[in-house]
Structure formats: C-alpha cells, structure tokens
Structure 1
Amino acid sequence: MSYPTRTRLLTAAIGAAALLSAVGCAADESNRSSDSTSSQHAAESHSVTSSAAAAAQRDDFDQADVTFLAGMYPHHAQAVAMAELVPERSQNPRIRELATSIEQAQQPEMDQIAALLQSFGQPAPTTAMSAMDGHAGMMSNQQMTDLAAASGSTFDTMFLTMMIAHHQGAVEMANAELAEGRNPDTKQLAEQIITAQQSEIDLMNTLLAGS
C-alpha cells in the first residue's frame, strides 16, 4: 500500500472516531438532562404528596369545625352581597358606613375560612346559598330580589331588618361551634364573629328604631 493511501485511510479513521465520540457525548448529555428533569418532577410530585399527606394527618379538628366553616362561608358571602347593594340605594350615612364595615370584615374572614378548610383536607367552600335558604338567618332568593328592588327609606328598613336576622343566624352558628368544635383557630374565628356581629346587631337595632 502506498504512503498516500495509508495517510488517507488514517485520516478517515480519525474522523470516524471523532464523530462517534461526539455522538456519544451528545447522548450522555441528553441522558443527563432527562435524568435531571425526571428528578425534578419526582421532587415536585413528592412535595405535593407530602402536603396532601400532612393535611390528611391533621387531627386537631372535628366535624363541627368543618360544618361551621362550610356553612359560614356562603353565609358571609350573602352578607357581603347585601352590603354591596347599599351605596346605590341608601342615603343614610350610618347605614352606608355599616355596609362598608361588613364588607371589610367578612371578606377577609371568607379567605380565612377557605384556608382553614384547605388545611383540614376539605373541599374548597362554595358560595351556593340555596341549600341554606331560611337557615341561620339566610335570606331567600326572593328576599334578595325584593331588597335589590327597593330604595330610600324602604330599602333602609328592609336592609336593617334582614341584616339583623342574618347576623343573629351567624351568632347562633358561632355559638354552636364554641360548644361542639375542637379546632382552636376555628373557635377563635367564632368568638370574633360573635363579638363583631353582636355589636352590629345593637347598632342596627338603634338605627331601625330611629328610622
């Protein structure tokens, strides 16, 4: 074999070896990337599973806590809906101020209720109110429609009368929680509701007497 021929063969062999090496490195890099992605997904899955397990293992609550929270969420939602009707229908500054206070107090409590239920491993609360019509001071759909259609002093009287009954229902629910519940955070919320809403009941009775 001539020298030029041997040189060409040697050059070709070196080139082939380099190509195989590059392909091998690319495959290794792909495998490492795949392994890294799989590890990341596994870690995320483990984190989610661990969080769910922690919620399932929590035992500092009972059914009374769950019932109270699941019922108070739509109860609060209706109170907020009633308060939102006030600015366009009432000219009474004290009633307008009361409505603002109700919104500012009860919307954050709804967020707290949702967080507590989640920590208990319970489904997210719903604002569906039909199942609670006539229960614990809840207004029916017809009552809400009538309230929305009123204005002026007629609205003021309806709003105060309905909200007093609504608050009394909330206080009743909160007292049941204090008697039967176990969770300290839920019981603290119940105490907070009793204090705030009983004070507002007293104010609304005063406003109603003067209307």
Structure 2
Amino acid sequence: MTAFTHVPRRSLHRRLALVGAVAAGGLLLAGCGGNDDMKGMGHASAKESAPSGATAGSAADTFNDADVRFAQLMIPHHEQALAMAALADDRASDARITRLAGQIEKAQDPEIATLKSWLKGWGKPERPSSGGMDGMEGMEHGSGGKGDMGGMMSKEDMRKLEAAKGPAFDRAFASMMIDHHQGAIAMAKDEKRNGRNAKAKKLADDVVKSQSTEVATLRTLLDRL
C-alpha cells in the first residue's frame, strides 16, 4: 500500500501560483521576441522597397547628371544676363528696355541662389569639372548646341555692349538678349527632356515660359527702336 505524503493546502496553492507565474513569464518573453522579429522584418522590407537612385531619403531629392549639368551651366548663363541687365541703368534710352532689364534681374538673381543651393545639397561643385567661365569660352554667342551654354556673349560682345549708349545700346541689348534667352531656353528644354529632379524640371519649365515671353517682347521692341 502506497503511502501518501500530506501536503498542506496552503503550500499547494503557492506551488500552483508559482508555476502559473513562470508560464506567464515565458509567454511574455516569447511575445517580446516575436515583436523584435517583426520589427526586423519591417525594417528589411522598408529598405527593399526604397526607390532605386534615391539620394537623400526622398524621391523629390533624386537627381541625375542632366540635373547637375543644367544647374552648373545655368548659373554662369544667368550671371551674364545679370551683367548685361546692369548696364541698362545708365546706358539705355528707352524706358521699356530699362524695365525689361529690371525684370530680368528680379527673376534670375533668386534663381541663381536656388541653383547653387541644389548643387550644394547634391554634393556637386558650382562649375563643371572642365572649369569656370574661362573654361567655357567655346560656348559663346550663337552656339546654341544641345545641352551647352548657347547664346553666351563673347568678351568682345560684352565690350561692345558696355561701350554703347542711348539708342545704339537699346538695339544691341535687345538683339543680344534675344540670343542669350534662346540659349537658356534650349538648355531648359534639354533639362525637361532628360532631367530627373522634379524641382529642377519645374524651374526649367519656368525658364522656358518666362524667357519665351521676354524674347517676344524684345523682338517687338527691336522692330520699333
């Protein structure tokens, strides 16, 4: 006959409570481990789903070589337009030329700052690796080739414009600025076709629209000067 050891009821309750607590703790730890695994899976899937070519954590920040070239070449192109416009203050005789020069300054100066900020954010220099303006002298007046700085005035062109005054300046300014704007429009259209950055493409679209309007105005003025 088997002998049974008498276990006090209070002690039995304690043991059952302890076993229950251990089991609950194990389930809690298992649950935490599962959450960590799920978090890890979430991070992995987020990385896998990130768009290829993203450069700064957002699709809006993506860019390609066409965007960089557009910004690098449009900066000196705009800078020359500002230099031409600045000459109108004490040389132009037609108030319409003076107003248009002021309009060019008001539009293009902020655009230069914007283009420089983009290049800085992209980690790119403000000038192409071939050099600054001196390294771009071949991209001068009337070149107009795809993607280059078409419409840039040569040093001789700028000297002639500086030397002109009155009606002679008005005619020279209008003629040169038409060519200069057409070069910028060609560059902007190239960016619209080949660029990737949404903000750069939007600025390019603005350049096409605003400078096409100014070209029409300049042609009208040139016929009347």
Report the TM-score when normalising by structure 1: 0.71
Which residue identity is paired with 1:139? Answer: M
Give 2:175's aligned residue: 161
CA positional deviation for 1:154: 0.8
> Are the aligned partners of 1:90 and 1:151 in contact in 2 as well (CA < 8 Å)?
yes
1:48-101 Cα deviation digits (max 9, x unpaired): xxxxxxxx9436110000011100000000000000000111121110000000
1:111-126 matched pairs, under 5 angstroms:
111-125=113-127
What's the secondary structure of 1:61's corresponding residue?
Answer: coil
Give 2:6's aligned residue: none
CA positional deviation for 1:129: 2.7
Give 2:218's aligned residue: 204
Matched residues in 2 for 1:128 and 1:90: separation? 30
> Are the aligned partners of 1:64 and 1:181 in contact in 2 as well (CA < 8 Å)?
yes
Matched residues in 2 for 1:66 and 1:112: separation? 13
Give 2:78's aligned residue: 76
> Are the aligned partners of 2:55 and 2:63 in contact in 1 as well (CA < 8 Å)?
no
Which residue identity is paired with 1:89? Answer: R
- 1:192 correspondence with 2:198: no
Matched residues in 2 for 1:161 and 1:128: separation? 26
CA positional deviation for 1:124: 3.2
- Structure number with higher helix proportion: 1
- 1:95 correspondence with 2:97: yes
CA positional deviation for 1:196: 0.7
Matched residues in 1 for 2:206 and 2:119: separation? 18
Q: CA RMSD in A?
A: 1.7
- 1:62 correspondence with 2:64: yes
Give 1:133's aligned residue: 140
Which moves more between the two structures, 116-125 or 126-135?
126-135
Give 2:190's aligned residue: 176
What's the secondary structure of 2:89's corresponding residue?
Answer: coil
1:16-95 matched pairs, under 5 angstroms:
57-58=55-56, 60-95=62-97
Q: Which has the larger radius of gyration?
A: 2
> Are the aligned partners of 2:78 and 2:108 in contact in 1 as well (CA < 8 Å)?
yes
Unaligned runs of 5+ in 2: 1-53, 144-149
Identity of aligned residues (%): 43
1:92-137 Cα deviation digits (max 9, x unpaired): 1110000000001000000000011111111134894330333410
* Runs of 4+ residues deviating >2 angstroms: 56-59, 124-130, 132-135
Which residue identity is paired with 1:141? Answer: K
> Are the aligned partners of 2:55 and 2:62 in contact in 1 as well (CA < 8 Å)?
no
Give 2:31's aligned residue: none
Unaligned runs of 5+ in 1: 1-55
What's the secondary structure of 1:145's corresponding residue?
Answer: helix
1:147-166 Cα deviation digits (max 9, x unpaired): 00011111111100000000
Alignment: residue pair count: 156
Matched residues in 2 for 1:82 and 1:92: separation? 15
Report the TM-score when normalising by structure 2: 0.66
Give 1:150's aligned residue: 164
Matched residues in 1 for 2:114 and 2:64: separation? 17
